[in-house]
Amino acid sequence: MRQVKIGLVGCGTVGGGFLDILHKHHDDFMQHAGVDLVLHKATTRTLSKLEKCGVPKECIVESYHEIIDDPNIDMVVELVGGTGVATDVILDALNAGKHVVTANKAIMATRGQELFHAADEHGVEIAFEASVGGGIPIIQPLKHALISNEISAVLGIVNGTTNYMLTEMEKGLDYEDVLKKAQELGYAEADPTADVEGYDAAAKIAILASIAFNSRVLQSDVYTEGITSIKPDDFAHAAEMGYTIKLLAIAHKVDGQIDVRVHPTMIPAQHQLANVNGVYNAIYVVGDAVGDCMFFGEGAGAGAAASAVMGDVIEVARHITSNSGITVGCTCTDNLEIREIGKLETKFYLRIVADDKPGVLASVSKVFAAYGVSIRSMIQPSVADGETAELIFVTHTAKDSDFETALAEIEKLDCVQEIGTMIRVEEE
x-or-dash string of contact with a copy of itself, 344-383, rule CB under 8 A: ----------------------------------------
Listed in sequence order, the residues at least 6 apart from 362 whose beta carbon sits closer than 8 Å to its beta carbon are none
- Listed in order, strand segments (DSSP E) in 175-298 are 223-224, 243-254, 257-268, 280-287, 291-298
Q: Which of residues 127-186 bind a copy of itself (CB under 8 A)?
A: 129, 135-137, 140-141, 144-150
Q: How far is the CB of 405 from a copy of itself (least distance, A)?
A: 38
Q: Please state the φ and ψ torsions of residue 78, each to the nearest 5 degrees.
A: -100, 110
105 is catalytic: no
Spacing of C-alpha 339 from chain mean position: 19
Beta-bridge partner residues of 422: 350
Examine residue 297 and tell whether it contacts a copy of itself (CB under 8 A).
Answer: yes
Q: How far apart are CA 209 and CA 194, in angstroms?
A: 20
Among 20-28, 173-181, 228-236, 337-345, which window interacts with a copy of itself (CB under 8 A)?
20-28
Strands 280-287 and 291-298: antiparallel
x-or-dash string of contact with a copy of itself, 275-294, rule CB under 8 A: x-----------xxxxxxxx
Is 280 in contact with 163 (CB distance < 8 Å)?
A: yes
Q: How far apart are CA 89 and CA 102, in angstroms?
A: 10
Q: How far is the CB of 328 from a copy of itself (least distance, A)?
A: 7
For a copy of itself, give the closer residue by CB, 1 or 362.
Answer: 1
Q: How far apart are CA 245 and CA 242, in angstroms?
A: 11
Examine residue 319 and tell whether it contacts a copy of itself (CB under 8 A).
Answer: yes
Per CB under 8 A, the list member of 8, 313, 360, 389 interacting with a copy of itself is 313
CA distances from 195 to 103, 222, 237, 289, 401 (A): 17, 15, 25, 34, 26
Examine residue 328 and tell whether it contacts a copy of itself (CB under 8 A).
Answer: yes
Q: How far is the CB of 230 from a copy of itself (least distance, A)?
A: 23
Examine residue 314 and tell whether it contacts a copy of itself (CB under 8 A).
Answer: yes
Q: How far apart are CA 415 and CA 229, in angstroms?
A: 22
Q: How far is the CB of 315 from a copy of itself (least distance, A)?
A: 6
- Catalytically active residues, by annotation: 204
Chain residues binding a copy of itself by CB under 8 A are: 17, 21, 24-25, 28-29, 31-33, 129, 135-137, 140-141, 144-150, 214, 272, 275, 287-298, 301, 303-304, 306-308, 310-311, 313-315, 318-319, 321-328, 331, 333-334
